[in-house]
């Protein structure tokens, strides 16, 4: 059975929820098959499951049958349904978190820019006095520039995720 775009988008949100709750990739399973005995055997395929130590979370994406939901709640510690309403609810939460993270990145980038400026000035001074410190300062400057580039990539990634989330929310409403 081919999975639709909306269902895949809901699954991505579900994976993010599990990661927010402390599950790592190895503790998250997609299309988890579960045999449940109710008079006769019933086979459930659960969209996402997070299993860690003695705590289990099931995530269903889109609509879910009431009987399946009731039975999952008997087995799992937590059952979450990811649908349009859940995405909209989470969007506001993640948006505020992303804004805070983005601000931290910008502050760190600004700090690194100041440090780069300071290192450039020191290099100019050292070059004018021709001492042996030039190479170590150039290395330090290179290291700071790499850190800044990493932060800028993270910032762009956060902005891209926010844009994709917003587009998904707009499509669902």
Neighbours of 131 (CB within 10 A): 10
What mean pLDDT, rounded, does the chain reach? 79
Element (H, E) at 61: strand 55-61
Regarding predicted confidence, which is higher, 153 or 84? 153
pLDDT digits 0-9 by tens, 93-111: 666 666 667 777 777 778 8
Q: HSE of 23 in the Cβ direction (CA atoms, 13 Å)?
A: 24
Residue closest to 172 by CA, chosen among 82, 58, 95, 64: 82
pLDDT digits 0-9 by tens, 8-36: 888 888 888 898 888 988 999 888 888 77
Regarding predicted confidence, which is higher, 49 or 33? 49
138-143: long-range pairs with CB below 8 Å, 24+: 141/116
Query: Would the pTM of this model clear 0.75, i.e. be above it?
Result: no
Q: Does domain 5-82 have CATH number 3.40.1350.10?
A: yes
Geometric angle at alpha carbon 46, from 44 and 50, rounded to 5°: 135
**pLDDT over threshold 70, residue 2:** no
């Amino acid at each position: 059975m081919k999975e639709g775009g909306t269902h895949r988008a809901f699954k991505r949100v579900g994976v993010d929820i599990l990661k927010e709750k402390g599950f790592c990739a190895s503790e998250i399973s997609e299309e988890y098959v579960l045999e449940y005995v109710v008079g006769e055997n019933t086979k459930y395929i659960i969209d996402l499951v997070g299993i860690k130590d003695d705590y289990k979370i099931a995530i269903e994406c889109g609509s879910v049958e009431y009987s399946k939901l009731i039975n999952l709640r008997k087995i799992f510690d937590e059952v979450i349904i990811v649908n349009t309403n859940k995405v909209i609810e989470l969007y506001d939460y993640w948006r505020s978190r992303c804004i805070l993270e983005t601000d931290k990145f910008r502050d760190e980038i600004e700090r690194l820019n100041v440090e780069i400026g300071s290192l450039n000035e020191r290099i100019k001074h050292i070059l004018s006095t021709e001492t042996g410190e030039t190479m170590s300062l150039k290395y330090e400057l290179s290291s700071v520039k790499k850190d800044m580039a990493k932060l800028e990539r993270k910032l762009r990634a956060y902005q891209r995720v926010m844009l994709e989330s917003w587009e998904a929310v707009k499509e669902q409403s």
